[in-house]
A and B are shown apart, each in its own frame.
Chain A
Amino acid sequence: MSNNKKIIWQYPWGYSESFIIAITLMILGFAINYISKSTVSTIQWPLNLFFGIAIIILLLLVYFLFKKKPFLKWLSGTPAAISAICLYTFLVLLMGFIPQGSPKASGFIHEIGLYDIVSSHAFLFAQIYFLVVLGMVTLKRSFPLRGKNIAFFINHFGLWLTLFAASIGAGDLQRVTLTTNKTNAVYFGINHKGEAIHDLGIAIQLKEFNIEEYPPKAFIIDDKSGTILNEKLFYLENGNSGEIMNWVIKVDDFFEYGICMGDKFHPIYDIGAAPAAYVIAINKKTKKVKEGWISCGSFRFQGNFLKLSDGMILVMADPEPKRYSSKVKIYTTSGNVFETTIEVNKPVTVDGWKIYQSDYNHDMGKWSDISILELVKDPWIPVVYFGIFMLIVGALYMFWIGNKK
């Protein structure tokens, strides 16, 4: 901007005006939070649809009626864009430093909404400002649409659509956790506020819960403090041998499911059976040999460790899950009854719900008698994905072309 001598608020507006507006919006947002003691609530179907359409019509109308006016020149120009990006960045930056959603929040910072920025009025205003400017910028370059502006359109409209659909659709997003068990079909879940939700339209019964585990790791620990002494990892698998902390360790026998009877483990598959390994450990310096069974135990049986020397014991860590899945029977109010398997990263879609494998009873591990599923309904996802798709195309194009001009 070369208009240093220009009086403020005289057109054309530049950075001073843009930043004053951005900062005013932010302070106004903080003040509304402070005075009204409320947060922004989302709007729901079908209100958000009408609202969204109204906004689009309004943006188009304002643009075409006033596009020659200096105010609109400003609103679709770089200074406004930079101030909008800066305001948005500033609030996200606060989010990056202030822990969000802390339950005991109080005091001034809390009252102006900084512990929950996403639902603060300042963030709402920042987002509206951002979307209005981005919308105007897009319109300015898109009418009439010339070939050389297509990349510009894909990037800017793609981002606008993604953010717009994500914002107005936020109120329709439903996330419910449903804890299934083997005795009966469960037809209700709990939302993030802890309320029970009954009108899901589906009921789910757990048929089988499966965990595939990695071979357990062995650790040498200090028997008083319980701290792990070895850095090098050692997996307990049949026949595996290796060296940790001057001990050469060999796995002589290994059962994924073992139960201790007397002083010996036996390969028995029964509820609570735990991995067990017979290890032979030879100290490299003293040549001392120690051998015996080790096991991580389970909710039902105690574990077993091997004493190597004073203060040092060899233990088996609980095996870590490689994948876990639930075989479930699903009943829908639309009359369908079927069985399916839900796995982490492989959700299942039923009547508008996407069902995710979420959790299980960790104390019981692979014997868990429950499986926790998450049901998600997000009707706006196709629109958001369309925007994301545009952004991907725009990014690929940008990567290819660079800033050659």
Chain B
Amino acid sequence: MDILNFNNIAFITIALWIIGSLFILGDQKIKNGRLIGNLFTITGTLVIIVFVIILWIEIDRPPMRTIGETRLWYAVFLPIVGILTFFKWKYKWFLFYSLGLAILFLIINILKPENFDKVLMPALQSPWFVPHVIVYMLSYALLGVSSVVSAWGLYLIKFKTFKPKLLNKADNLVYMGFSLLTLGLLFGALWAKEAWGHYWTWDPKETWALLTWLSYLLYIHFRFRHKHKTVTALWILALAFIVLLICWIGINYLAVSGNSVHTYTS
């Protein structure tokens, strides 16, 4: 990784994002502030995308295996989701949240440099690998934002300033995130059939992925019938995200994950 110095790239990206955010933050006072800000955040995102592409070519396999590599992808997807939602709803805090989280992921990667290990076990070398992982990461990014809405809502309730309309923002994110979750689960099943002979084996990661899916399914159906029970809906959404976090990170610490095909940490 000598030609591609990750730290430099990460610092450039972070700087571009921060400058962009500052312009957007002060867009009332600065002429064309929003436009300039958008240009900076988009350029920052493009820089990190190009880095990922070069890295992919360099290590000769999709960089999606180690935790550090997944963090890199979050640093790609979060800004994309943030920028798109910002364009759609004009909520600045959405953008700042996703950029902030992406910066956090990049900083973790700077502090914990990763060896880009070329080795990819044979079962992972499949055309399903890339769509399976990308769909999941995009889904987690969307559902992550929806969980911020729920946390924000629960916080506002404390101060009696909560407006039920806030939840409508979350609904759209959940619908999009949930449909990608469904795709991730199904792609995983189709891949498992090709690689391991069966589409569903109740492997711990599969079990938790199903739980995550069921939790959001519950949210969707509860919301559909009970539009006005917003507090319960907020709690379901918050709990669903906890299940998602266990599935994503916590699984490695659970007693059940003895020989899951999804734990690559050796």
Contacts and interface: CB of A to CB of B under 8 A. Distances in A.
Interface of A: 78, 81-82, 85-86, 88-89, 92-93, 95-100, 118, 166, 173, 175, 214, 231-233, 235, 320-324, 343-347, 354, 356, 358, 374, 376, 378, 381, 384, 388, 391-392, 394-396, 398-399, 401-404
Given A175-B198, A320-B119, 17 more contacts: A78-B225, A81-B221, A82-B218, A89-B214, A96-B204, A96-B208, A99-B258, A100-B256, A175-B197, A233-B117, A344-B123, A356-B195, A358-B197, A388-B186, A395-B179, A395-B186, A399-B175
A104 B182 CA distance: 35
B223 to A, nearest CB: 9
A291 to B, nearest CB: 24
Interface in B185-217: 186, 189-190, 193-200, 202, 204, 207-208, 210-211, 214-215, 217
A404 B186 CA distance: 24
B190 A388 contact: yes
A312 B204 CA distance: 39
Given A354-B197, A378-B198, A398 B186 contact: no
Contacts of A401: 175
A144 to B, nearest CB: 21
Contact of B256 (A78, A98, A395): A98
Contacts of B254: 96-97
Contacts of B211: 89, 92-93, 96
Interface of B: 115-123, 125-126, 171-172, 174-176, 178-180, 182-183, 186, 189-190, 193-200, 202, 204, 207-208, 210-211, 214-215, 217-218, 221-222, 224-225, 246, 254-256, 258
B204 A235 contact: no
Contacts of A78: 221, 224-225
A402 B202 contact: no
A173 B198 contact: yes
Contacts of B179: 394-396, 398-399
B121 A85 contact: no
Contacts of B123: 344-345
A392 B186 contact: yes
Contacts of B217: 85
Would you list the 6 A-B pairs with minimal beta carbon distance, nearest first? A344-B122, A399-B179, A398-B179, A78-B225, A395-B182, A395-B179
Contacts, number: 125
A262 to B, nearest CB: 33
B134 to A, nearest CB: 13
Give the interface SS of chain B, mostly helix, strand, loop or mixed: helix
B63 to A, nearest CB: 14
Contacts of A404: 172
Contact of A388 (B117, B176, B189): B189
Nearest to A375: B197
B214 A391 contact: no
A325 to B, nearest CB: 9
B218 A89 contact: yes
18 contacts: A81-B221, A85-B214, A85-B217, A89-B215, A92-B207, A92-B210, A93-B211, A97-B255, A321-B122, A345-B122, A345-B123, A345-B126, A346-B194, A358-B197, A376-B197, A384-B199, A388-B189, A394-B179
Nearest to B115: A233
Contacts of A89: 211, 214-215, 218
Q: Which of A173, A175, A321, A403 has the most CB of B within 10 A?
A: A403
Nearest to A214: B119
B215 A403 contact: no
A261 B40 CA distance: 63
Contacts of A344: 122-123, 125, 195
Contacts of A166: 200
A402 B122 contact: no
Nearest to A89: B214
Contact of B197 (A92, A96, A320, A347): A347
Contacts of B175: 398-399, 401-403
